[in-house]
């Protein structure tokens, strides 16, 4: 989200709307994301290794209610940021409910799960940050959001491979379970290429140093190519965490290219 804010303003004006950014970060990163994780965990009832947890403890009985109330509280705080931020927050709120809660539970439906995530974490999170610094919607932020849609399309399967067996045990037909490990990695590679094509074209159009993007894409390829070759024998947890570092490197590069240099 911070990336969206930083590219909305020139370097000299980064502190201009810092209050909106701080309030937005509390609402989005803590209450929406935290509430979503709690709400989702309450319905998952995982016992095996998932995401960032090894052998997670049983979910508290009212965890779903806590997560729901946390997200609603964040939605109230969102009104103090901007109208655009509020709209996108509540869109993501309903997406979170549909993603996790039976009988809809889009998380367990191949295609719907990744669609929700690339829109929520890729497009809307980036745009939410942008709305903290700018009220405009233009082609620049539209294409940047498109780039992040593809980038999260690259990351999402990598976060799911680690819990592949847990999802299959619950008979959740997730995107990664449906494709299998190797084809999921290939999908990630395609999304990665699409993301950096978008970023490079936008940077070329605004006359910035587009070639700097070779640095983060190299980080991604160092992770993805060996993973694709080794398949299930690749250290999946390590790969997931390395991918998060590659994401951070991409964020830094986007800010440098579109706001600093």
Each residue of 23-79: pLDDT tens digit? 999 999 999 999 998 888 887 765 554 455 555 666 678 888 999 999 999 999 999
- Number of residues that this document lists for the chain: 261
pLDDT number for residue 56: 60
DSSP string across 166-198: HHHHTT-B-HHHHH-HHHHHHHHHHHHHHHHHH
Nearest to 167 by CA among 61, 54, 49, 33: 49
Contact 194, 204 (CB under 8 A): no
Each residue of 84-106: pLDDT tens digit? 999 999 999 999 999 988 888 88
| Tokens standing for residue 11 | 């370097």
Q: What does the domain layout of the chain look like in residue ranges?
A: 2-260
How many Å apart are CA 73 and CA 50, to the nearest integer? 27
How many Å apart are CA 230 and CA 120, to the nearest integer? 30
Each residue of 205-249: pLDDT tens digit? 887 788 899 999 999 999 999 999 988 788 888 898 999 999 999
Cα of first residue to Cα of last residue in the chain, in angstroms, is 20
Query: Is the backbone peptide bond immediately before 94 cis, with ω within 30 degrees of 0?
Result: no
CA angle 44, 47, 49 (to 5 degrees): 100
More confident residue, 110 or 259: 259
DSSP string across 118-156: IIIIIIIHHHHHHHHH-----HHHHHHHHHHHHHHHHHH
pLDDT number for residue 237: 83
pLDDT number for residue 55: 58
Contact 25, 1 (CB under 8 A): yes
How many CA atoms lie less than 13 Å away from 255 in the CB half-sphere? 17
pLDDT number for residue 27: 97
| Tokens standing for residue 51 | 């995401």
| Tokens standing for residue 232 | 């299930």
pLDDT number for residue 45: 66
């Amino acid at each position: 989200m911070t990336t969206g804010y930083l590219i909305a303003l020139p370097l000299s004006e980064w502190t201009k709307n810092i209050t909106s950014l701080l309030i937005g970060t509390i609402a989005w990163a803590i209450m929406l994301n935290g509430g979503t994780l709690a709400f989702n965990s309450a319905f998952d009832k995982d016992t095996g290794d998932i995401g960032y947890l090894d052998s997670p403890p049983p979910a508290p009985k009212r965890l779903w209610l806590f997560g729901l109330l946390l997200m609603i509280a964040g939605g109230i705080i969102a009104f103090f940021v901007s109208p655009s931020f509020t709209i996108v927050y509540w869109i993501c709120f309903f997406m979170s409910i549909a993603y996790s809660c039976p009988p809809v539970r889009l998380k367990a439906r191949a295609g719907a799960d990744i669609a929700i995530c690339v829109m929520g974490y890729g497009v809307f999170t980036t745009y939410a940050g942008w709305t903290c610094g700018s009220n405009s919607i233009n082609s620049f932020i539209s294409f940047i959001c498109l780039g992040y849609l593809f980038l999260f399309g690259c990351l999402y399967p990598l976060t799911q491979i680690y819990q592949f067996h847990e999802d299959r045990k619950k008979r959740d037909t997730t995107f990664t379970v449906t494709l299998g490990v190797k084809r999921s990695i290939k999908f990630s590679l395609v999304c990665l290429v699409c993301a950096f094509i978008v970023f490079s074209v936008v940077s070329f159009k605004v006359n910035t140093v587009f070639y700097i993007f070779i640095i983060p894409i190299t980080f991604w390829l160092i992770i993805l190519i060996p993973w694709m070759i080794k398949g299930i024998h690749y250290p999946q947890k390590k790969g997931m965490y390395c991918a998060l570092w590659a994401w951070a490197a991409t964020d830094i590069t986007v800010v440098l290219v579109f706001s600093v240099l």
